[in-house]
Copies of this chain bind each other. A is one copy, B any other.
Amino acid sequence: MIKVLRLGHRRGRDDRISTHVGLTARQWGAKEVVFSGEKDDKMLESQRDIIERWGGHTEVRYNEDWKSEIRGFEGLKVHLTMYGLKLDDELENLKKQFKDDLLVVIGSEKVPRWVYHNVDYNISVGNQPHSEIAALAVFMDRLKGIRESFDGAKVWVEPSETEKYTRKQ
């Protein structure tokens, strides 16, 4: 089971970024996406609507007590940060340690030091000013690739060279 924990959501300012985090987590196979920070039912609902239509059963939820999501997790815990060890150097090691359960923690502007000390790895996807969406996508892509199957979909895309084709159930 893959879980993504997104820290420090701010209503309004982060709506679209957090939505991209959710879409990205789903596209690369997360079973759960947990948001902390400010509670934002509208943002969660809009993601649930997308999942309802496009399938795949990813669960999206809020938890104010984000530390419990890290503490209570059994499996590999990775925090993505521009300050961490290079993904290129750690990937083979991470692949070996990734069995079934993975928690990926991604931040906001300021991630508490507690996070750095309570995960198994702090990993950077480029030691540069950082898009947490890009970092999440590339980390998941390197570790396991794109998820292609989304069961229960009411609508899906028919890949096309030049057109926008969707099919409906």
A contact residues vs B (CB 8 Å cutoff): 13-14, 16-17, 20, 23-24, 26-28, 50, 54, 81-88, 116-117, 121-122, 124-131, 133-138, 141-142, 145-148, 150, 156-157, 159-166
CB distance from A51 to the nearest CB of B (A): 9
CB distance from A24 to the nearest CB of B (A): 4
CA distance in complex: A146, B127 (Å):
10
Copies of this chain: 2
CB distance from A135 to the nearest CB of B (A): 8
Evaluate contact between B17 and A20: CB separation under 8 angstroms: yes
Evaluate contact between A26 and B83: CB separation under 8 angstroms: no
Partner of A26, one of B116, B117, B128: B128
Q: Which residues of B contact A83 (CB under 8 A)?
A: 157, 159-160, 163-166
CB distance from A125 to the nearest CB of B (A): 7
Q: Which residues of B contact A146 (CB under 8 A)?
A: 87-88, 125-126, 138
Evaluate contact between B128 and A27: CB separation under 8 angstroms: yes
CB distance from A163 to the nearest CB of B (A): 7
CB distance from A126 to the nearest CB of B (A): 4
Q: Which residues of B contact A26 (CB under 8 A)?
A: 128
CA distance in complex: A125, B137 (Å):
10
Q: A83-B159, A116-B163, A164-B83 are in contact. Are A126 and B88 (CB under 8 A)?
A: no
Q: Which residues of B contact A148 (CB under 8 A)?
A: 126
**23 A-B contact pairs sorted by A residue (CB < 8 Å):** A13-B16, A14-B16, A23-B128, A27-B131, A27-B134, A83-B157, A83-B163, A85-B159, A116-B162, A116-B164, A121-B161, A122-B160, A124-B157, A124-B159, A126-B146, A126-B148, A128-B150, A131-B133, A131-B137, A134-B134, A138-B146, A141-B141, A141-B142
